[in-house]
Amino acid sequence: MKNIALIGSTGSIGTQTLDVIRKHPDRFNLISLAAGRNVERAIEQVQEFQPRVVAVERKQDAEKIQQQFGEFVKVFYGKEGLIEASVLHDADFLMNALVGSLGLEPTLQAMEAGVDIGIANKETLVTAGHLVTEKAKAHNVNLLPVDSEHSAIFQSLEGNRIDEVERLILTASGGSFREYTRDQLEGVSVEDALNHPNWNMGAKITIDSATMMNKGFEVMEAHWLFNIPYDDIEVLLHKESIIHSLVEYRDKSVLAQLGTPDMRVPIQYAMSYPERLELRDTNRLNLWEIGKLHFDKPDFDRYRCLRYAYEAGRTGGTLPAVLNAANEEAVKQFLQGKITFLSIEEHIEKALERHQVIAGPSLDTILEVDKETRAYVSSRIG
Ligand SMILES: NC(=O)C1=CN([C@@H]2O[C@H](COP(=O)(O)OP(=O)(O)OC[C@H]3O[C@@H](n4cnc5c(N)ncnc54)[C@H](OP(=O)(O)O)[C@@H]3O)[C@@H](O)[C@H]2O)C=CC1
Ligand SMILES: CC(=O)[C@@H](O)[C@H](O)COP(=O)(O)O
Ligand SMILES: [Mn+2]
């Protein structure tokens, strides 16, 4: 039996993680959950899974849950609440399903406590990949990929040597506007941007997918997870999202992982690794039904965020934290209807241009840069 701590329980990855736990009660036991403001859903989850520790974003919501469940659960709130839900002496695995760089500190603290991490929360690796990978090594904990592309690469690497890899190829759907020219992106709506062709995900990652910042983040995530230089990580447009990513070896053999788009597959694999458990109610991949798969090269002028991500990743230091924070703030403002879709990349570009890079930043420096960058982007919007 594996004891699971889950932060971000009410979101897309969080609820699918709970579905995996629900399907395997003999294998997984939920000992804590952390949610944000979706208190009704959090309460239902507490009723069903009976974790002993619960965290929510706001004090008043924590009090409400504490009253309802009494002594059976300990309820916390805020940033400290996220840490309480992540660092438990008997946790075997923390699923980090939070959105944003908010996930960084709980991840680092759980690793210090020797807990293996399922890392869906890519912003943590983007913002502070050097700190996270160092900490994983120092405390001998596994950092298991949950993102579908990284799970595909992880699976395609199994039984092979990393020093025999020549190239990682990350597939990209192209997002909600993949058939649009740059001119057609003028004035697109939030609703249209949220309409991902293949995946049903949280709002922020759906916008990141439309700008292709998601793929840029995934390049950075792959760099840190698999220790591969940026020059050897490529992006391939593949609109069906059937091939989840590929690894090319030095003999030019290419291994890949395929499947119908269902995040419960990589979620479950991270949780059950190195075993594969049954997943009954997912769709089988019948290639004859699909008939054709399509591939294309990404255009770095059409998808500028992809270019910024490679540049920030190659530069390193504090620049990736700026990229992430500027993106988080700009996407938030776009979702609130305050800026246009195309101006997301404009704000990011300006934030990157003005930043004086600090090499090898500490956690405190990263947190400071994160805060300062959000304030800068917010002040540009007014
Ligand atoms: N969805 C997907 O298919 C995939 C997602 N990912 C990555 O996984 C991560 C999660 O994505 P996704 O599940 O889509 O995101 P969602 O927006 O659906 O969920 C985010 C979760 O974080 C919680 N949260 C947000 N702010 C706070 C806060 N201040 N305090 C506590 N909890 C908070 C939300 O709580 P609440 O709703 O209660 O406010 C929710 O539970 C992201 O990093 C994303 O890039 C990667 C691959 C695929
Ligand atoms: C499901 C998943 O892993 C997402 O990150 C997905 O990759 C988004 O799709 P695109 O970024 O390829 O549009
Ligand atoms: Mn992905």
- In three-state form (DSSP H/G/I as H, E/B as E, the rest C), the secondary structure along 22-34 is HHCCCCEEEEEEE
Cβ–Cβ under 8 Å, residues 159 and 272:
no
Residues 141 and 164 in one domain: no
β-partners of residue 117 are: 94, 143
Say how many C-beta atoms besides its own lie within 10 A of residue 380's C-beta: 17
Residues 300 and 243 in one domain: yes
pLDDT (mean) for 292-314: 97
Residues 228 and 125 in one domain: no
Per-residue pLDDT of 236-246, as tens digits, reads: 999 999 999 99
Say how many C-beta atoms besides its own lie within 10 A of residue 111's C-beta: 26
Please say which residue of 76, 111, 145 terminates a domain: 145
Cβ–Cβ under 8 Å, residues 173 and 196:
yes
pLDDT (mean) for 59-65: 98
Does the pTM of the predicted model rise above 0.95? yes
Q: Say if ligand 2 is within 6 A of residue 148 CB.
A: yes
pLDDT (mean) for 152-158: 98
Which one, of 106, 153, 101, lies nearest residue 127 by Cα? 101
Tell which atom from ligand 2 comes closest to the C-alpha of 199.
Answer: 1
The pLDDT of residue 51 is above 90: yes
- Total number of domains constituting the chain: 3
pLDDT band at residue 382 under the 50/70/90 scheme: confident
Residues 190 and 308 in one domain: yes
> How far does residue 374's CA lie from ligand 3's centre (Å)?
24
Would you say 253 is a known binding-site residue?
A: no
What crossing angle do the helices spanning 213-226 and 304-315 adopt, rounded to 10°?
A: 30
Question: 83: which 2 tokens?
Answer: 């840490």
Residues 119 and 190 in one domain: no
Per-residue pLDDT of 316-375, as tens digits, reads: 999 999 999 999 999 999 999 999 999 999 999 999 999 999 999 999 999 999 999 999
Would you say 36 is a known binding-site residue?
A: yes
278 CA to centre of own chain: 24
Cβ–Cβ under 8 Å, residues 270 and 21:
no
Q: Say if ligand 2 is within 6 A of residue 12 CB.
A: no
Residues 167 and 306 in one domain: yes
- ipTM, two decimals: 0.99
The pLDDT of residue 280 is above 90: no
What is the domain range of residue 325?
A: 316-382
**Positive or negative, the Cα torsion across 173, 130, 263, 153?**
positive
Residues 19 and 123 in one domain: yes
Phi then psi for residue 22, to 5 deg, are -60, -35
Q: Say if ligand 2 is within 6 A of residue 155 CB.
A: no
Q: How far is it, in rounded angstroms, from Cα 308 to Cα 238?
A: 21
**Which ligand lies nearest the alpha carbon of 173?**
2
Strands 254-258 and 53-56: unpaired
